[in-house]
Structure 1
């Protein structure tokens, strides 16, 4: 068990934080499911993800928490307006806790490596050879 964080990492497992309510999330989950490795899909629209987990995801991606959020999403604009807003990291975490569907891109975890997937096919480029056990088509 990883003593550093609350998100478990395992080289034999792929974890994907995604929103099943958008097409990128659906596509990425489908690609990840094609792997021979054990897959843990965390659908943020159905699963409560804590502020600590959001902070850990952002930290391991080396990005600020606000970069996990799609500020162009209609729900975000409706609530906060379309002007650039400046909030503290804990405020961005609270936004994600309350409205996880605002996640901008799915987050893929393979072993200790964290990646944002900007398209369904992005998954392929993060595989080291056949390290994820993808079958040849």
Structure 2
């Protein structure tokens, strides 16, 4: 596959940093609602407010503070049934400035970009048990709240 030179130079220059906390293997629990988000995302702020309303234990993963590894990004993309490159906002200024207007990223390159520059994540990702969704709108989180319904008091 032929790549644009700026993409190749980006991958040669950038190495993983250890300044952020490394996360372990992604654990799944029906009692936990995990939200992977970048705080600059408007929908992320709204999603956090919705997550706070659930009875599930909240695990808020701020991608500035917590480093998600390439392996974890691969697992998240697999659980979403998407290619890693589909999780990247190609209109993000970082992508346009550093790579190109229309980058063609293979799986490994996309995982490196997500691990090193999580601000390019297209949408926050929410997980509860085995269910994983991209949060494109605040109502999307309702799909993960069904486990709370047994606790709801009916009139």
* Corresponding residue number in structure 1 for 2:43: 24
Q: How does the TM-score come out when normalised to structure 2?
A: 0.76
1:1-137 → structure 2 map (5 Å cutoff): 6-83=25-102, 85-128=103-146, 130-131=148-149
1:19-72, CA deviations, whole angstroms, 9 ceiling, x for partnerless residues?
Answer: 111111111111111111101010112211100010000000000001111111
The runs of at least 4 consecutive aligned structure 1 residues that moved more than 3 Å come to 129-136
CA contact (8 A) 2:32 2:58 kept: yes
Per-residue CA deviation, residues 94-125 of structure 1 (Å, 9 max, x unaligned), is 10111011111111111111111102232124
Q: CA RMSD in A?
A: 2.2
Higher RCO by CA contacts (8 Å cutoff, separation 6 or greater): 1
Q: CA 1:109–1:132 in 2, change beyond 3 Å: closer, same or farther? A: farther
Q: Which has the larger radius of gyration?
A: 2
1:129 Cα deviation after fit: 6.7
Count of matched residue pairs: 131
CA pair 73-28 structure 1, distance change in 2 beyond 3 A: same
For structure 2, the residue ranges without an aligned partner over 5 or more in a row are 1-23
